[in-house]
Amino acid sequence: MFRFIFRLAAMVALSVSVIMAVLDTTRTVAASALVLTPLNASWLAVSPDTRAAFETFVRAKASPLLWDGAIAWVLNQPGFAVFAVLAFLLYAIGYRWQRRTGQFAAN
């Protein structure tokens, strides 16, 4: 059950990654220069209230150092790359290993 949830979340993250990559590609072709939209800019364009609430929550509950260090760095990366890495990690968690017993037996 949990594997299915992780694989489903990986599929959603990969879909978001592809959509963001297509948007960046379209902007790159239109501008005739490389355009990589940071995740922070995309998040602020879609929902600035949740972005502000998330920052307030992290600064209050965890630490301002966590926000200034790790989270701010992740938010400054291209959005498609962040979601692609997230999709890979979620899929790796939900991956089902195949048993190797009996595959090399002589027939």
pLDDT higher than threshold 90 for residue 103: no
Cβ–Cβ < 8 Å for 20, 84: no
Can you give the pLDDT at residue 102?
Answer: 64
Q: What is the pLDDT of residue 86?
A: 96
How do residues 53-100 score in pLDDT, each as one tens digit? 999 999 898 888 888 889 999 999 999 999 999 999 999 999 887 776
Q: Residue 96: its pLDDT value, please? A: 81
Residue 9 has pLDDT above 80, yes or no: yes
For residue range 26-56, list pLDDT tens digits in order. 999 999 999 999 999 999 999 999 999 999 9
Instruction: State the sign of the Cα–Cα–Cα–Cα dihedral 14, 17, 22, 25.
Output: negative
Say how far apart CA 37 and CA 24 lie, in whole Å.
7
